Amino acid sequence: MKEIKNKITNKLERLLEQWLVPRLVRWGEYLETKIRRYKHQELKSQLKFCGSGLRFKRDIKIDHPQNVSLGNKVYIGPDVLLDGRGGITIGDNTTLGFNVIILSANHDYQSNDLPYEYNVYIHKPVVIGRNVWIGGNVLIVPGVSIGDGAIVAAGTVVTTNVEPLAIVGNQPMRIIKYRNKEHYEKLANKQQIKPEISVNSDTEQHN
């Protein structure tokens, strides 16, 4: 009886793995796509200005969308964050790569509390022109303007205005300092010794 029960259980598990689970995965992906599309439409309706042909790729977060204007044929890549508290304007045909963060408000470090007073911000609008290409993992700080046709290389922290047609980036990479060699080698040697000690101790216990 137990063997029959196990056979039936195993057969049901195989059916679940081979038939039901793949269909559930595809159905879940389909639902995620529909839900994301719905969220994108809702977000677009909340913008200060939404141009035609605006495209969002996968997940995007826009805080205070009522202060954000996105032009015609703007493309925004996945996992982008737009903080619209101080206002963000992006011109036509501009592309934002993945993980781009645009901030338009800073904490007021001169407020009456330390390290800062909660909900006290200095608002500085960010303006990005037409036909701008912003690479992945770029951070744009409050108050920055980027001119038409400019290109911002991946991984750049944009802290000052970018002129039209300029290509900017935080390159080349430079050495800031070195780790303490003696300290590092001591840690590395200890790391190599640890597995040998554990093996010996296990052997002694079994003996």
Condensed to tens digits (0 to 9), the pLDDT of residues 166-187 reads 999 987 767 778 878 898 888 8
Q: Rounded to whole angstroms, how far apart are CA atoms 96 and 135?
A: 6
Tell me which of 36 and 64 has the higher pLDDT.
64
Q: Is residue 194 part of a domain?
A: no
Q: Could you tell me which of 130, 143, 138, 47 has the C-alpha nearest to residue 100?
A: 138
Mean pLDDT over each residue of the chain, to the nearest integer: 85
Q: Is residue 186 part of a domain?
A: no
What is the DSSP pairing of strand 60-63 with strand 80-83?
Answer: parallel
**Proportion of the chain above pLDDT 70, given as a percent:** 87
Tell me: pLDDT of 207 over 50.
Answer: no
Residue 142: other Cβ atoms inside 10 A: 21
Q: Is residue 155 part of a domain?
A: yes
Tell me: pLDDT of 63 over 80.
Answer: yes
Q: Rounded to whole angstroms, how far apart are CA atoms 50 and 71?
A: 6
Mean pLDDT, rounded, for 187-194: 76
Which residues are identified as catalytic? 107
CB 139 within 8 A of CB 159: no
Number of domains the chain contains: 1
Tell me: pLDDT of 70 over 70.
Answer: yes
Residue 158: other Cβ atoms inside 10 A: 22
Q: Is residue 197 part of a domain?
A: no
Q: Is residue 198 part of a domain?
A: no
Q: Is residue 25 part of a domain?
A: yes
Tell me how long the chain is: 207
Residue 27 is part of a domain; what is its CATH number? 2.160.10.10
CB 94 within 8 A of CB 132: yes
Q: In terms of residue numbers, what domain contains 27?
A: 2-168
Q: Is residue 188 part of a domain?
A: no
Q: Is residue 184 part of a domain?
A: no
